[in-house]
Amino acid sequence: MDKYLSGWQATLLNAMGRAVLVNSVMDSQLVHAMSGLLLPQGLLDELDTWRRDFLWAGDEKASGAQCLVAWEKACQQKEMGGLRIKDLAMKNKCLLLKLLHRATFMPLSGATEPPPKVQFFAWLLVQERIQCRANLLKKNVVQDATCEVCQGDMEDCDHLIFKCPFASSVWASLHVDTTGCSVRQLWCAPCPGAVPEKHSNCFILLICWQLWKHRNGVIFQGLEPSLTRFWMGCREEATLWPGRWPRTDRIVAEAWCQTLSPM
């Protein structure tokens, strides 16, 4: 299996792309064997190690700090908060018993959903697993968890998205009251009144994604916090994301741009 994993140019793929390939290569390489043989558990464990390393670290061996979410969680169904990475042991049994159809991977990206990299970010965010400074401190990657945007409180996921003064000013500009909001209940966050209910979750993710990108610009590029730069990024994304939607939904994109244009 190593030659297939290393041949994928893993460094050129984002995590969602690697998740898709983890499933597809196992289909093509193992389906015949699993259809006729009950694979030993030791072999299944070794295959899972290869798949886990590739998902989190590309062509390198993944350390514990790089595995942001437990492998068992990643293998759960999308509806249960997982990535639908295939359970090889279960698939092996299903193929042998011929009681179920061959498991198929349902892509996480849909016609009316955000780009796959944003979906992967959202998946980590609602589990409080993004690489915020509080999480990095737990892994001894950094010595201080202070938010570098506000230089005030500890930067955990809720602070980054809702409680940081910069984030609070963003939501206030949209006339959104985020009191009591948490990333674990991200979909309960109110949406601006001017934004149509359809695709409103996408709009919330757009703001969260831009807060994350803005934070990374401050840390890794040495940029000063800037609402002007933040809103410019939001407007650019708002014109790009709806390109994936049906034409009948483009009116929603126009409402997004109208909401963001005064900012």
Query: How high is the mean pLDDT of the chain?
Result: 83
- Residue type at 176 in one-letter notation: V
Give residue 79's Cα distance to chain centre. Answer: 14
pLDDT tier, 166 (very low <50, low <70, confident <90, very high otherwise):
very high
Compute CA distances 100 → 24, 90, 93, 103, 104, whole Å: 19, 11, 9, 8, 11
- Is the pLDDT reported for residue 206 higher than 90? yes
Q: Which residue from 2, 46, 104 is spatially nearest to 10, judged by alpha carbons?
A: 2
pLDDT, tens digit, 9 for 90 and up, residues 177-193: 999 999 998 988 999 98
* Among 105, 112, 45, 57, residue whose Cα is nearest residue 78: 105
Cα separation of 168 and 160, whole Å? 10
Contacts 24+ apart (CB under 8 A), 111-114: 111/244, 111/245, 111/246, 112/199, 112/202, 112/244, 112/245, 112/246, 112/249, 113/202, 113/244, 114/202, 114/205, 114/206, 114/209, 114/241
b/e code 26-39 from CB counts within 10 Å (16+ = b): beeebeeebeeeeb
Cβ(218)–Cβ(148) below 8 Å? yes
pLDDT at 6: 54
pLDDT at 103: 34
SS3 154: strand
Question: In this structure, what token pair is assigned to residue 16?
Answer: 């969602």
The two tokens of residue 112 are 């009316």
State which of 6-20, 109-123, 220-234 shows the largest mean pLDDT: 220-234
Q: How confident is the model at residue 55 (pLDDT cuts 50, 70, 90)?
A: confident
